[in-house]
Amino acid sequence: MALLEAHEISKRFGRITALDTISIDADSGEAIGLIGPNGAGKTTLFNCLLGILRPDSGSVVFDGVRLDHLPTHRRSRLGLARTFQRMELFTGMTVREHLFVAGEAATRSARHWWDVRGWPWWWQSVSPDERSQADETISLLGLDDVADTVVEALTLGQGRLVELGRALASRPRLLMLDEPSSGLDANETAALAGVLRRVREEHGTTIVLVEHDLHMVSQVVDRVIVLVLGRLVAEGTMEEVMASPMVRDAYLGAS
């Protein structure tokens, strides 16, 4: 059984069909790229898988558990985590503090998380194990030199890695990344791709990656799924899908 199974997901917004009976699956430890031109439905599919949107039809199963009516926080507790297109970090907090807070939010009640964040001494409630886990994640991300730097002083690339670290703080089984290289230069994108490969190798994390940078996708994933105007039009290796006339037309225009 696949770790994630989405079966015939459909979603409409008025007269617009954003998703038309999309079915995808992901095995444990697999990395999948979800690509397609703007408006293809990639982020809508993400939001349906995570419970931010409710699909009009279809089902989502994670490790044998039906997710259809579970709220987002319940899905997160089962082992799903994501990043967003628009990076949002907590101003005035360091890299290390971000990971502490993310760990608190993942393991304790939301009220407790807010309480401890609201007091200067909140960090004293972090256990030695949580501190060790945060340090491990910081090293994995290559952020040791800026671990105690406030996020406002970081580069965009470092900020993207902090956001990734925040998602990893809950030790997810499935990591969903929405345009993680947005705004990064070539060197920062290559560093991010390297981190994602290490996440898979060291933790066996399943990755679903929405990304416009096809070179980065090819460096990270095993399999690519192509959406065009809400429909799944191709699936396979990067070489296989880019050889499809339908995919070339979607990206380059019909000849």
Task: Report the percent of the chain where pLDDT is more than 70.
Answer: 89
Q: How far is CA 47 from CA 60, 64, 71, in A?
A: 12, 20, 12
pLDDT given at position 125: 63
Alpha-carbon distance of 89 to 249, in angstroms, equals 38
pLDDT given at position 124: 61
Domains and CATH numbers, the chain: 4-252 (3.40.50.300)
Model confidence, pTM: 0.86
Mean pLDDT for 83-95 is 82
pLDDT given at position 253: 67
User: How many angstroms separate the first and last alpha carbons of the chain?
Assistant: 41
pLDDT given at position 130: 74
Average pLDDT over all residues of the chain: 86
Closest CA to 78 of 55, 44, 102, 106: 106
- Model confidence at 191: pLDDT above 50: yes
Alpha-carbon distance of 10 to 52, in angstroms, equals 14
Task: Report the percent of the chain where pLDDT is more than 90.
Answer: 54
pLDDT band per the 50, 70, 90 thresholds, residue 90? confident
Q: How does pLDDT run across 47-63, given as a tens digit for each residue?
A: 999 889 999 999 999 99
pLDDT given at position 176: 94
- Give the full edge-to-edge strand order of the sheet including 80-82: 80-82, 174-178, 206-210, 31-35, 223-228, 231-236
pLDDT given at position 72: 84
- CA angle 198–205–45, rounded 5-degree value: 120
Residue 148, classed as helix, strand or coil, is coil
pLDDT given at position 107: 59
pLDDT given at position 110: 45
pLDDT given at position 119: 46
97 conformational bin, left if phi > 0, alpha if psi -120 to 50, beta if neither: alpha
Alpha-carbon distance of 140 to 66, in angstroms, equals 32
- Model confidence at 77: pLDDT above 90: no
Burial per residue of 88-117, b for 16 or more beta-carbon CB atoms within 10 angstroms, e otherwise: ebeeebbbbbbbbbbbbbbeeeeeebeebb
Beta-carbon count within 10 A of 179 CB: 19
Helix (H) or strand (E) holding 236: strand 231-236
Which tokens hold the place of 203?
A: 């933790």
Beta-bridged to residue 177, according to DSSP, are 209
